[in-house]
């Protein structure tokens, strides 16, 4: 494109001079690109994140979709057994020789009495059922926000693993790999706790039922938050989106909610037994959205009160219309 | 006469132009690429952005001066606004929105019985008013009050107290450890500086209807309306039950009126239906919001009202009592 009358100041440009200038321009472009590339390469990676990309596996047991049970009353261990029985027994989900990962909520270094973490009795009962089903190995993990060793110790989870014969897997720096969710807005190039998932056949989520100051409720979907590494607290500003994306990471084998005592106020940390209500309920489901839709009612709220449930359901992570599902119910004691 | 430059103007040739445009385009693409990368920093990868480990505190006298009956299970830890969510996760926003300064924690065990342990949380807030906001927001009903003059209570295994700009929690491992936590709390509260909170709005609630220990302070976005900040709430007896009343002071009557109008508009925009106020309630509007009555009163430099009264008759009765009290307290 030329502009009439406009000329460029040049010497009597020879072919050689033009080639020299073009080469200089090329070197300038290459130098700028190299600086950019170097800058990019110098981007500091956290020690906790390996460069390998992680993809979640398939953990759902065949022909178990849409199973949902609710057991009220009875003691915690008994209700766990009955809830499992109603969805087909642990044998329907865990086969002999399989490796099972139990994702607990060990977020805080608080005692079991405050109900902020997975109760050791609940965990112990589920480990026993996995072992009875023939699991070759039962692993237990979480990436707590407080010091992991202290969290596992003070919550009673470490002792429960020891008593029941499960292996506690710590979230060490090398256990994280980067994960990008297809179509995800927040989970892009984010470190996730991949190490404990390596080689496992089944993943079961075990969560308490809690009020949550930001999200409204912390249930089975929010429990996957503990699989994230990095500076994940930034997600609190967009809590419903992050829980929706957690719901889409993978389909678990099973989730179980412990509403023996639900934290109905001052969550997610609580701090007092006065924050708990004896709701005496255990929920088991292969559909985490359905489990949470029922679990939130124990807090006196509706599934519609949690925007992330509608978002997760709309994106195919599970069903909110539990009234149309075949819910197996039982009352104990 | 100066020597004439040998440079002459010469029209750019087509090849020169093509190469020039190519170089410019490449530079623009590089700039755009760098801008895109840098405008979307991954918080997980920013150097130093990963939460730093909690800092062990050496000089918090009130957590280092330990009564003889207790022994620490570790050093104190301190968290600031950037790291507090590492300790309390999703509840951090409650403190941050109210005016959080720092959190110091330490676990203690009984010297005689190590199984009796508890964790002490000392939240330092920007002001006694901010401390009152987080204290009142988490108050457990039906708790046993701490002996006077301490302001606090024991609920189950936990002790919760307020002292000046500090809000304190002691979480015991079990019910058997709660007495040890309470004893420690008494010693700790004595050491914290006393400072009275400016909570003059609570005088606007009619004393004859006010439910004891029900006064609270919402620092931000009360009832879902982002302009309704620094709102004091209380439960008032009305009819056979109770309703929630609120009061918020503003700098000028004009500001208060504008806020009341904005809040009414917010209620109407969210599905509310206007309801006329009974005779004698000047500057008052009612809104039926899906079966619950909301009342908004603008009086002097105060915005007040009733929130979510299930029974309209009780709601209006409480509004009349509140309006009368405001009439007594505010200059005509």
B243-253 tens-digit pLDDT? 999 999 999 99
Q: What is the pLDDT of residue B9?
A: 61
DSSP helix/strand/coil, A162: helix
Q: Do A272 and B16 touch (CB under 8 A)?
A: no
On the question of pLDDT at A41 being above 70, the answer is no
Mean pLDDT of chain B: 87
Q: Answer for the pair A261, A278: CB distance below 8 angstroms, yes or no.
A: yes
Q: Is the peptide bond before A268 cis (omega within 30 degrees of 0)?
A: yes
Band (B58; pLDDT cuts 50, 70, 90): very low
Q: What pLDDT does B281 receive? A: 85
Contact B85 A218 (CB under 8 A): no
* Average of per-residue pLDDT across A139-152: 94
Question: CA of A21: which chain B residue's CA is closest?
Answer: B16
Per-domain boundaries in chain B: 55-191, 200-329
Q: A233 in contact with B at a CB cutoff of 8 Å?
A: yes
Segments making up each domain of chain A, as ranges: 49-278+299-332
Q: Is the pLDDT of residue B36 over 90?
A: no
Q: Report the 10 Å Cβ neighbour count for B120.
A: 23
Smallest Cα distance from B59 to chain A, Å: 22
Residue A35 DSSP class = H
Cβ separation of B171 and A110 shorter than 8 Å?
yes
CA distance B49 to A233: 11
Q: How far apart are CA A197 and CA A204, in angstroms?
A: 11
Span B197-216, pLDDT tens digits: 888 899 999 999 999 889 99
Q: Does the pLDDT at position A108 exceed 50? A: yes
CB contact set of A318 (below 8 Å; sequence gap of 6+): A247, A287, A288, A289, A290, A312
Phi, psi dihedrals of residue B324, rounded to the nearest 5°: -65, -40
pLDDT category of residue A49 using cuts at 50, 70 and 90: very low
Q: Is residue B159 classed exposed, middle or buried when 0-12, 13-18 and 19+ CB atoms within 10 A define those classes?
A: buried
Percentage of chain A beyond pLDDT 70 is: 91
- Torsion from C-alpha of B154, A276, B178, B193, nearest 10 degrees: -40
- What is the percent of chain A with per-residue pLDDT over 90, rounded to a whole number? 80
Cβ of B91 within 8 Å of Cβ of A25? The answer is no
Residue A308: pLDDT above 70? Answer: yes
User: Is A191 a residue whose pLDDT tops 70?
Assistant: yes
Give me the pLDDT at residue A62, please.
95
Confidence bin at B19 (pLDDT 50/70/90): confident
Top-confidence residue, A51 or A120: A120
> What's the whole-number mean pLDDT along residues A303-309?
96
- The nearest alpha carbon in chain B to A271 belongs to B171
The CATH number fitting domain A49-278+299-332, selected from 1.20.120, 3.40.50, 1.20.140, 3.90.480? 3.40.50
DSSP state of A329: E
Q: Is A313 on the interface with B (CB under 8 A)?
A: no
Cα dist from A42 to A33, A35, A38, A45, B220, whole Å: 14, 10, 6, 9, 41
Residue A24 forms contact with B (CB below 8 Å): no
Chain A residue closest to B136 (CA)?
A: A266
A148 neighbors A109 (Cβ within 8 angstroms): no
Cβ atoms B296, B263 nearer than 8 A: yes
Q: pLDDT tens-digit profile of B169-199?
A: 999 999 999 998 999 999 899 889 988 888 8
Segment 256-295 of chain A within 8 Å of chain B by CB: 265-269, 271-275
* Contact predicate B77/B57, CB 8 Å: yes
Smallest Cβ distance to A32: which of B27, B45, B89?
B27
**For range A82-111, the mean pLDDT:** 97
Residue B50: phi and psi, rounded to 5, are -65, 145
3-state secondary structure of A238: helix
Say if residues B204 and B247 touch (Cβ distance below 8 Å).
yes
What is chain B's length?
332
Write out the two tokens for A182.
């297809």
What is the mean predicted confidence (pLDDT) over A178-197? 95
Decide: B199 and B135 in contact? Cβ < 8 Å.
no
Cα dihedral: B42, B48, B51, B56 (round 10): 180
**Token pair for B101:** 């300064």
Q: Check: CB of residue B65 under 8 Å from CB of residue B191.
A: yes
- B60 vs A66, which has greater pLDDT? A66
Record the pTM.
Answer: 0.82
Per-residue CA distances from A272 to A262, B79, B199 (Å)? 12, 22, 27
Q: What's the CA gap between A13 and B250, in Å, rounded?
A: 75
CATH top-level class of B55-191 = alpha beta
Q: Yes or no: say if A320 and A293 are a contact pair by the CB < 8 Å rule.
A: yes
Range of weakest confidence among A7-11, B48-52, B98-102: B48-52
Q: What is the largest distance, in Å, between two alpha-carbon atoms of chain A?
A: 102
Closest CA–CA distance from residue A32 to any residue of chain B (Å):
8
Q: Looking at A84-189, which runs of residues are DSSP E strands?
A: 99-104, 137-141, 167-169, 176-179
Q: Is A38 on the interface with B (CB under 8 A)?
A: no
Distance from CA of A144 to the nearest CA of B (A): 9
Domain B200-329, CATH: 3.40.1000
């Amino acid at each position: 494109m030329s502009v009439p009358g406009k000329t460029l100041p040049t010497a009597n440009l020879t072919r050689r001079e033009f080639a020299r200038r073009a080469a200089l321009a090329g070197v300038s472009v290459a130098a700028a690109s190299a600086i950019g590339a170097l800058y990019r390469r110098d981007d500091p990676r956290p020690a906790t994140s390996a460069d390998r990309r992680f993809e979640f596996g398939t953990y759902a047991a065949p022909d178990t979709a849409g199973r949902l049970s609710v057991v009220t009353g009875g003691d915690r261990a008994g209700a766990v057994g009955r809830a499992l029985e109603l969805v087909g027994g642990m044998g329907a989900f865990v086969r002999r020789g399989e490796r099972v990962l139990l994702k607990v909520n060990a977020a805080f270094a608080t005692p079991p009495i405050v109900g902020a973490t997975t109760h050791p009795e609940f965990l112990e009962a589920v480990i026993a059922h996995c072992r009875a089903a023939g699991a070759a190995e039962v692993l237990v993990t979480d990436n707590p926000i407080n010091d992991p060793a202290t969290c596992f110790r003070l919550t009673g989870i470490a002792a429960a693993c020891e008593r029941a014969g499960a292996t506690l897997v710590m979230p060490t720096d090398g256990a994280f790999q980067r994960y990008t969710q297809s179509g995800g807005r927040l989970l892009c190039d984010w470190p996730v706790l991949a190490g404990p998932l390596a080689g496992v056949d089944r993943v079961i989520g075990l969560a308490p039922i809690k009020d949550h100051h930001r999200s409204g409720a912390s249930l089975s979907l929010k429990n996957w938050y503990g699989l994230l590494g990095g500076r994940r607290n930034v997600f609190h500003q967009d809590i419903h989106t992050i829980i929706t994306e957690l719901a889409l990471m993978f389909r678990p084998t099973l989730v179980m909610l412990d509403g023996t005592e639900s934290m109905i106020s001052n969550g997610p940390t609580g701090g007092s037994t006065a924050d708990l209500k004896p709701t005496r309920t255990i929920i088991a489901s292969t559909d985490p959205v359905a489990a949470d839709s029922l679990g939130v009612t124990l807090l006196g709220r509706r599934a519609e009160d949690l925007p992330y449930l509608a978002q997760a359901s709309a994106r195919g992570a599970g069903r909110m219309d539990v009234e149309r599902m075949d819910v197996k119910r039982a009352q104990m004691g | 006469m100066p020597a004439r430059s040998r440079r002459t103007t010469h029209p750019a040739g087509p090849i020169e132009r093509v190469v020039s445009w190519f170089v410019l385009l490449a530079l623009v693409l590089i700039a755009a690429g760098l801008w895109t990368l840098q405008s979307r920093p991954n918080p997980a990868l920013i150097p130093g952005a990963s939460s730093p480990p909690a800092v062990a505190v050496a000089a918090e006298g009130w957590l280092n001066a330990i009564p003889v009956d207790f022994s620490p299970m570790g050093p104190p830890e301190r968290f600031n606004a950037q790291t507090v969510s590492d300790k309390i996760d999703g509840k951090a926003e409650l403190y941050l929105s109210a005016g959080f300064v720092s959190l110091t924690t330490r676990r203690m065990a009984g010297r005689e019985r190590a199984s009796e342990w508890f964790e002490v949380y000392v939240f330092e807030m920007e002001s006694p008013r901010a401390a009152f906001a987080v204290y009142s927001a988490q108050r457990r009903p039906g708790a046993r009050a701490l002996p006077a003059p301490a302001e606090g209570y024991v609920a189950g295994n936990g002790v919760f107290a307020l002292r000046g700009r500090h809000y304190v929690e002691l979480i015991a491992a079990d019910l058997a450890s709660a007495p040890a936590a309470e004893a420690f709390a008494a010693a700790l509260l004595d050491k914290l500086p006393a400072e009275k909170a400016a909570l003059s709005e609570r005088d606007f609630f009619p004393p004859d209807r006010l439910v004891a220990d029900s006064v609270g302070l919402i620092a931000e976005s009360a009832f879902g309306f982002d302009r309704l900040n620094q709102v004091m709430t209380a439960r008032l007896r009305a009819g056979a039950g109770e309703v929630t009343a609120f009061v918020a002071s503003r700098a000028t009557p004009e500001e208060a009126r504008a806020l009341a109008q904005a809040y009414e508009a917010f209620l109407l925009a969210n599905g509310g239906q206007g309801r006329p106020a009974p005779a004698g309630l000047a500057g008052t509007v009612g809104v039926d919001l899906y079966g619950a009555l909301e009342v908004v009163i603008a009086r002097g430099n105060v915005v007040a009202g009733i929130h979510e009264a299930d029974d309209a008759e009780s709601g209006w009765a409480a509004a009349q009592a509140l309006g009368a009290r405001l009439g007594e307290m505010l200059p005509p």
